[in-house]
Amino acid sequence: MLIDLEPKTISEIVVDDYRTAAIFEKNGLDFCCRGNRSITEACNEKGVDQDKLLGEIAALQSEASYSDTHLQFWSLDFLADYIVQNHHSYIRGTTPAMKAHVIKVAAVHGEHHPEMVRVRDLFLEVSEDMAQHMVKEEQMLFPYISQLARAEAANAASPRAPFGSVENPISMMRQEHEAAGAALEEIHTITNNYTPPEDACTTYRVTLEELAAYERDLHRHVHLENNLLFPRAEKLEQKLRSMRV
């Protein structure tokens, strides 16, 4: 099944076929935080050959392996749990070693590669912010979203939210996503797309590989929340609240 690309935004295209995320990522086009743009707008901004990009997507969609199983059909509580078990666990599992690596590389190579000092500072800030971000999601936002899902299943009215509306914490989470994405984009840029210099030691090279993988995972993580979980939670809350009237 081929998806119609017009007039969909990049994030909507990725929602329809998640495999396209790799194509947008390869071309430096943001499909998570700034995925609410058309392909034309994004390509013009980044200087990407739009015809070539569309050709890559068309080739991908023509593959027999395309599945009609889309993430947007998962229940909200299942999707929230998936994010915690996969993306939150990934961050918690990789961060300690990555922090040690960026600190070491900055100390050893910072004199000749001062950009790695900036990388260290950026990553340490992101790691701290993401630790707090995930706690807020797991202890406040996601439990409420699960309550919404259970209320829908029981054909009940919306539960009372301690924060007024789900839109309030979601707005905060989106802002924090933007900040983390901007920091990683800067790391991506100043490391020349995570390219190690000729004098890079093994730890230096491993660190860049870890950072590249971390950025890829964050893009998928944010996409699932910004473009799937959050909009559906907002719509479901509105629907359930109308049942109180």
Look at residue 68 in the predicted model and tell me its pLDDT.
40
pLDDT at 124 exceeding the cut of 70: yes
Look at residue 66 in the predicted model and tell me its pLDDT.
45
Enumerate the domain spans of the chain: 10-61, 74-242
Of 20-24, 43-47, 129-133, the least confident: 20-24
pLDDT at 14 exceeding the cut of 90: no
What mean pLDDT do residues 101-117 have? 97
Residues 171 and 230: their CA atoms lie apart, in Å, by 9
Q: What is the mean pLDDT of the chain?
A: 89
Q: What are the b/e assignments for 26-63, b being 16+ CB within 10 Å?
A: ebebbbbbbbebbbeebbeeeebeeeebeebbeebbee
Look at residue 160 in the predicted model and tell me its pLDDT.
86
pLDDT at 245 exceeding the cut of 70: no
Contact status, residue 17 vs residue 60, Cβ threshold 8 Å: yes
Nearest to 200 by CA among 192, 185, 130: 192
- DSSP secondary structure letter of residue 140: I
pLDDT at 122 exceeding the cut of 90: yes
pLDDT at 148 exceeding the cut of 50: yes
The pLDDT-based confidence of 104 (bands split at 50, 70, 90) is very high
Look at residue 70 in the predicted model and tell me its pLDDT.
63
Stronger pLDDT, 30 or 138, i.e. the higher one: 138
pLDDT at 19 exceeding the cut of 90: no
Stronger pLDDT, 171 or 20, i.e. the higher one: 171
pLDDT at 69 exceeding the cut of 50: no
What mean pLDDT do residues 87-114 have? 96
The type of residue at 140 is M
pLDDT at 62 exceeding the cut of 60: yes
Look at residue 1 in the predicted model and tell me its pLDDT.
42
Alpha helix ranges (H) inside the chain: 10-16, 20-26, 39-46, 50-61, 76-83, 89-109, 115-136, 142-153, 167-190, 202-223, 230-242
CB 65: neighbour CB atoms within 10 A? 6
Residues 101 and 94: their CA atoms lie apart, in Å, by 11
Contact status, residue 46 vs residue 29, Cβ threshold 8 Å: yes
Nearest to 150 by CA among 243, 82, 240, 242: 240
Return the sign of the alpha-carbon dihedral for residues 25, 213, 129, 102: negative
pTM: predicted TM-score of the whole model, two decimal places: 0.78
